[in-house]
Every structure is written in structure tokens, then in C-alpha cells.
Structure 1
Amino acid sequence: MSTILNVIWLVFGGLWLALGYFLAGIVCCLLIITIPFGLASFRIGAYALWPFGRTIVDRSPRGAGLFTTIGNVIWVLVAGIWIAIGHVLTAIPMFVSIIGIPLGIANLKLIPVSLMPLGKVIVASNAVLPTYRHA
């Protein structure tokens, strides 16, 4: 079922969304100092290309480091809020049709990672994640 939804997603906007993230990643990598943002854009773009059957989790279960937090705050102020608004605006027309409801939900699932992309990793939805004990 996730393959069918991914193909429909790809045709009705996922490809263009992913290309936008990939373009942003290339620009960020060219500017050298923003390479972490570029890598995050590539990660989001890969998820935006084929979102069904995968999920986004925090890289570290103990929380983000100081540089990750500072980078995420900068990202939210510069680009994250605008990208999140774009996801909301493109999700609304997807919800209009019955077949577009899962696509709208997938678009809304991209909002948290588009707001704070650093410190995230994409895994299969059925992946067994390690459990960590806090000392």
C-alpha cells in the first residue's frame, strides 16, 4: 500500500517538493558555512521524494547538542517558518479530494522536520530502534 501512495505522492507534488529541497541543499553546500543545512536539505528531500513507509526520529535520544539547537534556531528564523507555511498551504488542496487525504497528512508530517532539520534521521517505519538507558 505504501508503494502505491508513494507513486501517487511522487506524481502529485512529491517530485517538485524534493527537487526544491535538493536545490536548496546544493546552494547551502556551495556557501560552505551552511553545509550542515545543505545536508539536512538533502535528507528532507529524500524523505519528501518517498515518504510513505518511513519516519523521522531524533538522532540522539538524549537530546540535541548545543550546536544542533543553535543551528535549528537559525534555520527556523531564516527558512523553516516559510517552508512550514508552504507545506500547510500545499496540504490544504490535497485534503479536498478523498484520495488526497493521505497526501495531505504526509505533507503535514514534513512540517516538524522542515522546522528543525538538524539532529534528525530517516528510518523505515517498521525499523526496530535501539533503546537507551539513562544513567
Structure 2
Amino acid sequence: MNFIGNLIWLIFGGIIGAILWFVAGLVLCVTIVGIPFGLQCFKISLLVLWPFGKEVILGGFGVGGLLLNILWLVFLGWELAVHHLIIGLIFCITIVGIPFGLQHLKFAQLALIPFGAKIVDK
């Protein structure tokens, strides 16, 4: 079932979303200061590419991760989280869109606190 969900996800926009996250990571990696943030964009782009069957585990960051999460949240994360939250709620209006809406809600979590988050198989 995860394979079918991922295949449908790719056909209907998942590949575009993954490319956008990847390009954002490349743009952030242009400067030395942006490299940690770009690496988090690469992590999120891999999840956006193949989200079904994956789980996000938040937490496990130290003081450095906390500071980077705060910077991420102030400058970039809240806009991305709101974006994924709105899209997720729109998808959840229909029964067919609920699995895709839940994936966007998972992305919203990760967009808020990417540092220290782990992506694991279910």
C-alpha cells in the first residue's frame, strides 16, 4: 500500500515538491552560514519524494540544535509549516485526499523543528 501511495504522490506533485525543497537546499548551501539549513532542506526533500511508510520522530537535539531550530523557525520554518498545514487541511476535506493531507501535516511538523528530527521507516 505504501508503494501505491508513493507512486500516486509522485505523479500528482510529489516530485515537484521534492525538487523545490532540493533547490532551496542548494540556495542555502551557497553560503557557509546556510549549509546546516540547506542540509535540513535536503533531508526534507527526501521525505517529500517518498513520504508513505516513513515516520518523523522529533526531539533529540542539544543546545546547538535548539539554537538552529529557533533560527530556522524565525526565518524559514513557520512559513513552510503554515504552507504545509494549509495544503494538508485542504486535502483532508475529501476522503480520497486524507492520506495526502496527513503527509503534508507530517511535513509541517518537520518544517517547524528539522534539527534533531529523525526520519525512520514504519
**Taking structure 1 as the reference length, what is the TM-score of the superposition?**
0.84
> 1:108 corresponds to which letter in structure 2?
L
Give unmatched runs, 5+ long, in structure 2: none
Q: Runs of 4+ in structure 1 displaced over 3 angstroms?
A: none
- Counterpart of 1:6 in structure 2 is 6
RMSD in angstroms over aligned alpha carbons? 1.4
Identity %: 38
Q: CA deviation at 1:96?
A: 3.1
**Taking structure 2 as the reference length, what is the TM-score of the superposition?**
0.92
Q: CA deviation at 1:32?
A: 1.5
Instruction: Spell out the pairing of 1:1-135 with structure 2 (5 A cutoff).
Output: 1-58=1-58, 60=60, 64-125=61-122
Q: CA deviation at 1:48?
A: 0.8
> 1:92 corresponds to which letter in structure 2?
L
Measured in 2, the distance between the counterparts of 1:120 and 1:88 equals: 18
Q: CA deviation at 1:31?
A: 1.3
The alignment covers a number of residue pairs equal to: 122
80-89 or 10-19, larger mean C-alpha shift: 10-19
**Greater C-alpha radius of gyration:** 1
Structure 2 CA distance for partners of 1:58 and 1:92, relative to 1, 3 Å: closer
